[in-house]
Structure 1
Amino acid sequence: MGTPAPSAPTEPPVRAWWNSRFVVPGLMLLSTIPFWFVHTPPLIDYLAHIGRYQVQLHLADSPALQQNWDFHWQLVGNLGVELLIAPLAPMLGLERAAWLIALALPLLMISAIGRISRALHGELTPFAIAAAWFAMSYPFQLGFVNYWLGCALAFHVFASWVETTGKTGSVMRAALFAAAACLVWLAHAYGWVVLVVLVGAFELCRSWNRAPAAWPSMVIVILRRIWPVMIPAVLMIVWRQGNGAASTGHFFDIGTKILGLVWTLRDQNIWLDTLSLLLAIGLLYFGMRSRDTRVNPPLLVGAASFLILILLMPGEMFGAVYADVRLWPIFFIVGLTAIAPTDAMQRGSAIIAGVALAVFAIRIVAMAVGFAAYDSGYAQHLQALKDVPHGASIAVLTRPPSCERWRAPRVAHLGSLAIVRRDAFVNSQWDASGGQQLLTPLHARGTAFNADPSQYIEIAPGDCDGDLSATLAQRIAQIPRDRFDYVWLLDVDASHLTVMPGLRRLYQDDRSALYAFNKG
């Protein structure tokens, strides 16, 4: 018998360019660009958080803060950045530490998307690149930093859960995941809910593949598997027992849920943001219907679960607003990451990946330009504080959200930087009632100007662009002058406003003005 001819050497499969190990780091690097040109992250509610961190860090050594604020640590599912800022601020300074944390949140989210895609598909898919658009979506732009940190951590913990499933060391694994789930809950309770939904969907699909007909036993098996991530339920019960008064409402507000969907990618440009959202919806539809794609069952179940939660949850829950619609980006991230192309659509995959990268880059450029403009405006408005004394009390007034155009001015909580720079009191912080906040405003307690939303001027939507002189004069007249030293107008063109009796104008630019009350 002859010697068999040697077989031709097989070439290793060619890795698609979008599956390169450099793509996710590249997306992460791109996501930092908007922050290169700013000193203050223009994330709406985050500006108020930065003021709260000043009280958290310096209440004990500042008599001015002590007469204006009260701050008490308590176990709540909303402590993410509060815990991070404590070690970072003494090293970097408060405002620089806040800037660094804001920059890091999209990095965490994008890296988590990449990990989940590789854990469940074995590759980074073009659809996962499109999911990265949502790493800086509207909840992030609103400044829901604890929520976004909690969700990013939940995605990372879920990726680790998938990666370690079936491996030895079950006791140690359970202990580590119990601890990780508690950390996610501490960052934000809704992040923990995201983790439970994803882990539950994953284990449901694992059990269904083995014994789809044995429902009672399957439920028991699932609970035995996921119990480590359920441990924070105890923390949730303890938290809510102590804060039963937290408001919950706005059930089945379909109009707001639809508006939340439209606003999912809201940022700088209505056309870019709306077209990006429509493209994401188109990719979801194509991925679910095409024969050239495959859908990961656990992520599909997870996305469907988030959609159901959005429809069933109230708009306000445990004192947190937008409780339902803040899940829209999570739905899109999970839904898009669930989809992977088959080998039959190599060319189509390249097109989708190229479009996804292009849209991401365009959105980052638009965001960077917008962020730089915000920062320039902030720097200009904050010049008003240069002659404000330490410990002053400032009544901030600005236009209500109903007057905002698509590209919002993002000054609703800019006044809180007076806390950082002057240990001042401002009326735009949230009150601690309801258990969501650790800070309690004291200086104007008992008046209508002690906390958010007292900074908003009551303007009918149709009057937003009209003459505000009469409206402002009426609102300023309501400010208790025994409690406040200054009035700071933001997002208001004060050039045409008459000087009101009892006020001295100290500063004015194109969109803000500072007045002092004449006392004595």
Structure 2
Amino acid sequence: MSQISLPAARGGSLLQRAAKIDVTLAFVILTAVVLVPVFLVAVPPLADYINHLARMHVIAIGGKDADLAAFYRIDWQLIPNLAMDLVVPLFARFFDIYFAGQLFTATTVLLLVTGPLAISKVLFGRVNPLPLVAFVFVYNGIFLVGLMNYLVGVGIAMWGLAIWVKILDRPLILRLAVSTALVAALYLCHLYSLGFYGMAIGAYEIWSWAKRGYKFDRKLVLDIVAMVVPVIPAAVVLLTSSTWGLSGEYAWNSHTKVDGIAYIFRAYSDSLDLGLTALLALAFGWAMRRKLISFHGAALPLLVVGTAVFLAMPELLFGSYMADQRLPAALFLMLLGFVRLDVSDRTVRACFFGMVIAFTAVRTADVAYHWGKLGHIYDEFRQSVASLPRGAKILVTYADDPQGSDLERDAISHAPCVAMIERSALVSTAFTVKGKQIMTVRKTFQDRVDTEDGTPPTVSQAVVAAYPPTDEPVTKTYWSNWTQDHDYMFVLYTERGVKNPDPDDLSLVYEGDGFQLYKINR
């Protein structure tokens, strides 16, 4: 009997070793591919990214720049939105701020693609290649918005779920210590990523409890203690933080649900994204028919709980938009770790790796192409502010008739913040909302900037504000007195050759793709 089983055991061992080598090789290739866009341009053109990076610069400078210190102050407090604030300034001690941001972005990408692999390894006991599909969709619609603190938290949450499952049977004291550390890290990343982690381990525990016949046993009590106790300190900190002051800001919207699902697969080219998604769906369906796909038992509870949370979540929560739309992409990546592909057939294994590498290369090439184009615009923004005096005060406005696609407009919506890095400027759209960021504007300049994270005025609104009708009541805004309070004005979403909207008060300084920079005449 041993003579019969020994070759089979050896065959199984060789198969596992070959699969592990294939996964490792594919992982190295895929990693090299998906990181190309990150280091292709100095500023990854993610909508909110440059605004956050400007704050990192202020933190890294640490008051050594007199102009920035005159405009901004850093109010360190334990708000659930600090991942970049804690990490990037440390990187900036060794590299310039742009490369420090690239390193953080690359770290975020790696966490998002390795999280599903870690979950799969723990759930199935061996390396499985299916979670490599995360490489295809890591550049999704939520990533392109630039929600960096949330995204790095999602990556840590996936690793956290893998660790939670790994130590389920270890002593309670160890579980409490590890879970407390994870909760603390996720709290510092983003409140939503902490909620995502709690949702995931809660769904897994529901499956585990059901598997034991819904018995109220010692195991259930220990699991509840391990889940609840580490959250108590985080809850206390949240209740005493300035973020809790935003708890009344929420709004539910049914229209955002479809967008949230679309963000899983959407990048820059709708036809390409739809085609790749359809081909992957067909391949998945074929594998299901051949019974090459299997699901871990906890996949269904996670999908059900995640869907219920997604449908119940508001669009605006704690003053942050896209609260619900963030969840589907994160849930999709996590669920990849709960799916197993049978790769005992060499042909199936080769086809899978070839398909994932090819699809990742095509999608990443599309991202790199668009980042190259948008990166050129960011270079123009940096050139446009090069001649500005240090400490300039800049008002950001929008064109009356916005030009360019939605993706192009989103990508440059915060580009004027490069002036904070390059010329130590005061920029009206810099993120300075109390409870959401630790950077605030000093009292002297608070009436010249947007402290509520609102929408900038159109250039016509600004011109009207400069010459208000004498017979109508005037609403005071931060741009009401821009001819005296600011030195320069950016007009975004415009095009070259557009007529000066106010020749008496504005002189053109620079024209770029999608924007104009004017000097305000005194």
Q: TM-score range by the shorter chain?
A: 0.7 to 0.9
Does 1:108 find its partner at 2:111? yes
Q: Give the Cα separation in 2 of the matches to 1:5 and 1:89.
A: 61
Unpaired runs of at least 5, structure 2: 468-479
| Identity across the alignment (%) | 21
Residues 475/116 of structure 1: CA separation in 2 closer, same or farther (3 Å cut): farther
Does 1:262 find its partner at 2:265? no
Q: Which moved more, 1:441-450 or 1:490-499?
A: 441-450
Match of residue 204 from structure 1: 206
Does 1:177 find its partner at 2:144? no
Match of residue 91 from structure 1: 94
Tell me, yes or no, if the aligned pair for 1:397 and 1:489 is still in contact at 8 Å. Answer: yes
Residue identity in the other structure for 2:489: V
Does 1:78 find its partner at 2:81? yes
Superposed counterparts of 1:467-506, under 5 Å: 474=464, 480-498=482-500, 500-506=503-509
Q: Give the Cα separation in 1 of the matches to 2:2 and 2:506.
A: 98
Aligned-residue offset at 1:280 = 5.9
Match of residue 45 from structure 1: 48
Q: Give the Cα separation in 2 of the matches to 1:290 and 1:171.
A: 45
Tell me, yes or no, if the aligned pair for 1:76 and 1:239 is still in contact at 8 Å. Answer: no
Residue identity in the other structure for 2:235: V
Q: Which moved more, 1:416-425 or 1:230-239?
A: 230-239
Does 1:371 find its partner at 2:371? yes
Residue identity in the other structure for 2:213: A
Indicate the SS of the match to 1:340. strand
Match of residue 464 from structure 1: none
Aligned-residue offset at 1:456 = 5.1
Q: Give the Cα separation in 2 of the matches to 1:231 and 1:95.
A: 37
Residue identity in the other structure for 1:341: L
**1:435-468 deviation digits (Å, cap 9, x = unpaired):** 111122346533575664343538xxxxxxxxxx
Aligned with 1:144 (options 147, 158, 176)? 147
**1:117-160 deviation digits (Å, cap 9, x = unpaired):** 11112344453122333322222211111001111111112212
Indicate the SS of the match to 1:243. helix
- Aligned alpha-carbon RMSD (Å): 3.2
Match of residue 26 from structure 1: 29
Indicate the SS of the match to 1:211. coil
Residues 391/59 of structure 1: CA separation in 2 closer, same or farther (3 Å cut): farther
Match of residue 512 from structure 1: 515
Aligned with 1:9 (options 7, 14, 31)? 7
Match of residue 415 from structure 2: 414
Indicate the SS of the match to 1:136. coil
Q: Give the Cα separation in 2 of the matches to 1:401 and 1:21.
A: 50
Tell me, yes or no, if the aligned pair for 1:119 and 1:159 is still in contact at 8 Å. Answer: yes
Match of residue 463 from structure 1: none
Residues 375/496 of structure 1: CA separation in 2 closer, same or farther (3 Å cut): same
Residues 283/331 of structure 1: CA separation in 2 closer, same or farther (3 Å cut): farther
Match of residue 55 from structure 1: 58
Match of residue 446 from structure 1: 447
Tell me, yes or no, if the aligned pair for 2:116 and 2:335 is still in contact at 8 Å. Answer: no
Residue identity in the other structure for 2:188: L
Aligned-residue offset at 1:378 = 0.9
Residue identity in the other structure for 1:484: H
Match of residue 395 from structure 2: 395
Tell me, yes or no, if the aligned pair for 2:268 and 2:370 is still in contact at 8 Å. Answer: yes
Residues 476/127 of structure 1: CA separation in 2 closer, same or farther (3 Å cut): farther
Using the size of structure 1 for normalisation, the TM-score is 0.86
Aligned-residue offset at 1:76 = 0.7
Match of residue 360 from structure 1: 360
Q: Give the Cα separation in 1 of the matches to 2:80 and 2:40.
A: 32
Tell me, yes or no, if the aligned pair for 1:40 and 1:375 is still in contact at 8 Å. Answer: yes
**1:331-387 deviation digits (Å, cap 9, x = unpaired):** 211233322235798765654554333222211111112112211121123211121
**1:173-222 deviation digits (Å, cap 9, x = unpaired):** 4212211221121111211112112222223322322233x368775353
Residues 5/480 of structure 1: CA separation in 2 closer, same or farther (3 Å cut): closer
Residues 440/277 of structure 1: CA separation in 2 closer, same or farther (3 Å cut): farther
Tell me, yes or no, if the aligned pair for 1:284 and 1:335 is still in contact at 8 Å. Answer: no
Residue identity in the other structure for 1:405: S
Residues 479/206 of structure 1: CA separation in 2 closer, same or farther (3 Å cut): same
Indicate the SS of the match to 2:489. strand
Q: Give the Cα separation in 1 of the matches to 2:400 and 2:72.
A: 25
Match of residue 72 from structure 2: 69
Q: Which moved more, 1:345-354 or 1:374-383?
A: 345-354
Tell me, yes or no, if the aligned pair for 2:142 and 2:263 is still in contact at 8 Å. Answer: no
Match of residue 317 from structure 2: 317
Q: Give the Cα separation in 2 of the matches to 1:377 and 1:152.
A: 30
Unpaired runs of at least 5, structure 1: 459-469
**1:389-419 deviation digits (Å, cap 9, x = unpaired):** 0100011223599976353341111111111
Aligned-residue offset at 1:486 = 0.5
Residue identity in the other structure for 1:174: L
Aligned-residue offset at 1:484 = 0.3
Superposed counterparts of 1:263-278, under 5 Å: 263-278=263-278
Residues 402/199 of structure 1: CA separation in 2 closer, same or farther (3 Å cut): farther
Residues 287/192 of structure 1: CA separation in 2 closer, same or farther (3 Å cut): farther
Q: Give the Cα separation in 2 of the matches to 1:256 and 1:476.
A: 37
Aligned residues between the structures: 501
